[in-house]
Amino acid sequence: MAEDYVIRVKTSPQEVDAAAWDALLQTQSNPSPFMRHAYLAALHSSGSANAKTGWKPHFFTLYQGDALVAGCAIYEKAHSYGEYVFDWAWANAYAQHGLPYYPKAVGAVPFTPVPGARLMARTPEARAALLQAVLQWCEQSGMSSLHLLFVDDADATACAHAGLMLRHTVQFHWTNTDPGYSDFDAFLMSLSQEKRKKIRQERRKVTDAGVTFRWSLGPDITQTDWDFFYRCYERTYLEHGNAPYLNRDFFQRMADTMPDHWLLFVAEREGQAIATSLIALDAYSTRATHQNAAGDWVAPCFAQVKEEPAQRAGDTEQSTVPPSLPSSKVAYGRYWGALERVDCLHFEACYYQPLQWCIEHGYQRFEGGAQGEHKMARALLPIKTTSAHWLAHPAFADAVARFLEREGEGIAGYLDNLEGRSPFRKSTKEI
């Protein structure tokens, strides 16, 4: 019953029990590393996302007795930067009518457009109670609106039942087909001749320019590599006229508190590093599991994982994942930067090297981040993502509802159009 719940709202992740938060996260269907306590705490402790930068945190926790049964991170926003679900037109409409759109409330991972659980809960009832507590707080605090971004299916269902408006956008994800590609060439052979030829040409341009790659996983990423990565990352932002959202201290905290979740690619030419891409790995992906002689499921050390990639289909001793663990392993394309311009280097660093690594290490999915229709040519296919929205002003809520209905029809048509442009070959005649 709702009266059994106790709601506690904290203004800092440090006030939330980290072990309880992470244990709750692991009960979700999509426990991405970006909702881990350490990740959220690093955003705030580093000063990348806090009240001064327009992200004032409110961590909602729902307890039943001594047990944390639901929780979410809500931010009081003074702007719409770093969200990747764009509502600038809504803010402008408010301004044109002399109404304040800010502050608004946003349930999201700052600067991280990765779908996943936002209303973490152990039961649908706890999720519904958590959402009602957030909505009540928004009304009492004078928020113009609430926006839950890149939610998972359970969140979307709860939001729809509560009367929130759903909005859809498109991302591009790569999937390793069952039983998995044996190598990168096998992946290429699944593509149409045109796309296969294009990828080979692009990779050849990088190779002919004398560029080679090395990768480091987890604790093997050195301090020098982290420093070089940030130099590239910062420079690329500045070249586009913007300061980077994330500062060097944030990445240092990632190296200190979440090293197992990061994979770094470094491009080198003539012995000098010239570019990097940083990939995030999901909660179970950095430790391959196997059964020992006693039949127990164990996880080898990092060095073993790096030296012994996941078994491929057809190998005589294939490891399997125990039923109690997620069967899929996910990699997330996150950040990149370069000090030199080399034709097609971005494609190689951000797509081809990560995809080749995913194939060799038994990963089932690579999420390429927000936007980017060009990703389809690299075999990242369109998927629909969902956000949920509540507006306090009835007339604006009605107007937004009509807008979302029209936009939704456009998104559906866009997806239909993209699906007709699949990069994969349709028959063996295309080989």
**pLDDT tens digit sequence for 141-156:** 999 999 999 999 999 9
Residue 12 confidence (pLDDT) above 50: yes
Of 163 and 372, the structure prediction assigns the larger pLDDT to 163
How many angstroms separate the CA atoms of 68 and 121, rounded?
A: 9
CATH 3.40.630.30 segments of the chain: 2-172+383-418, 177-363
Largest CA distance in the chain: 71
In this structure, of 99-103, 284-288, 356-360, the range with the lowest mean pLDDT score is: 284-288
Q: If pLDDT is split at 50, 70 and 90, which confidence band does 71 have?
A: very high
Query: What is the fold of 2-172+383-418?
Result: Aminopeptidase (3.40.630)
In this prediction, residue 429 carries a pLDDT of 53
- Please, are residues 242 and 280 in contact by the beta-carbon 8 Å criterion? no
How many angstroms separate the CA atoms of 144 and 235, rounded?
A: 36
Count of Cβ atoms closer than 10 Å to residue 406 Cβ: 9
Query: What is the fold of 177-363?
Result: Aminopeptidase (3.40.630)
In this structure, of 299-313, 315-329, 334-348, 405-419, the range with the lowest mean pLDDT score is: 299-313
| Stretch 276-299: mean pLDDT | 53
Q: If pLDDT is split at 50, 70 and 90, which confidence band does 426 have?
A: confident
Which of these, 207, 195, 213, 239, lies nearest to 374 by C-alpha position?
195
- Please, are residues 123 and 31 in contact by the beta-carbon 8 Å criterion? no
| Stretch 31-41: mean pLDDT | 95
Q: If pLDDT is split at 50, 70 and 90, which confidence band does 370 have?
A: confident
Q: If pLDDT is split at 50, 70 and 90, which confidence band does 427 have?
A: low
The predicted-structure confidence for 222-279, as pLDDT tens digits, reads as follows 999 999 999 999 999 999 898 999 999 999 999 999 999 999 999 999 999 999 999 9
**DSSP string of 224-283?**
HHHHHHHHHHHHHHHHTT---SS-HHHHHHHHHH-GGGEEEEEEEETTEEEEEEEEEE-T
In this prediction, residue 5 carries a pLDDT of 95
In this prediction, residue 430 carries a pLDDT of 57
Who's near 321: CB < 8 A, 6+ residues apart? Answer: 289, 327
